[in-house]
C-alpha cells in the first residue's frame, strides 16, 4: 500500500478508522484480527513489510501496532496483542 492508497483508504472510511499495522509472519497480529473486525469502526490493514512508508509516517516500531486515526492523525494507540477490552478502553471516545 502506497501513501496515496493509504490516504484514500482513510478517506473512504469517512471518519475515524482503526489502522492495523501487521505482517504475515506476525502471529500476535493474526490473533487480534477478529477482535478488531468486531469493533464498530472501519479497519484499514497495513502490511508493514510491503508498506514501510506508511508505518514510518506514524513511527511504527513493533507489531502489532493498532492506531485510531482521525483526520490523518493518530489519536490513540494500542501496542501488542491485547484483549478486546483494552481496545475498547483505548478507543472508547470513538465507539
The catalytic site residues sit at 26, 29
Strand duo 17-22 + 65-70: pairing:
antiparallel
Residue 20: which of 50, 59, 46, 41 has the closest Cα? 46
Is residue 21 within 8 A of residue 63, CB to CB? The reply is yes
As given in the structure block, the three cell numbers for residue 94 are: 470513538
Rounded Cα gap, residues 88 and 78, in angstroms = 10
Amino acid at each position: 500500500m502506497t501513501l496515496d492508497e493509504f490516504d484514500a483508504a482513510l478517506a473512504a472510511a469517512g471518519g475515524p478508522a482503526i489502522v492495523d499495522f501487521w505482517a504475515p509472519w506476525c502471529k500476535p497480529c493474526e490473533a487480534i484480527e477478529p477482535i478488531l473486525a468486531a469493533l464498530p469502526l472501519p479497519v484499514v490493514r497495513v502490511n508493514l513489510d510491503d508498506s514501510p512508508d506508511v508505518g514510518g509516517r506514524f513511527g511504527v516500531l513493533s507489531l502489532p501496532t493498532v492506531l485510531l486515526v482521525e483526520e490523518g492523525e493518530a489519536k490513540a494507540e494500542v501496542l501488542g496483542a491485547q484483549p478486546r477490552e483494552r481496545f475498547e478502553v483505548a478507543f472508547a471516545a470513538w465507539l
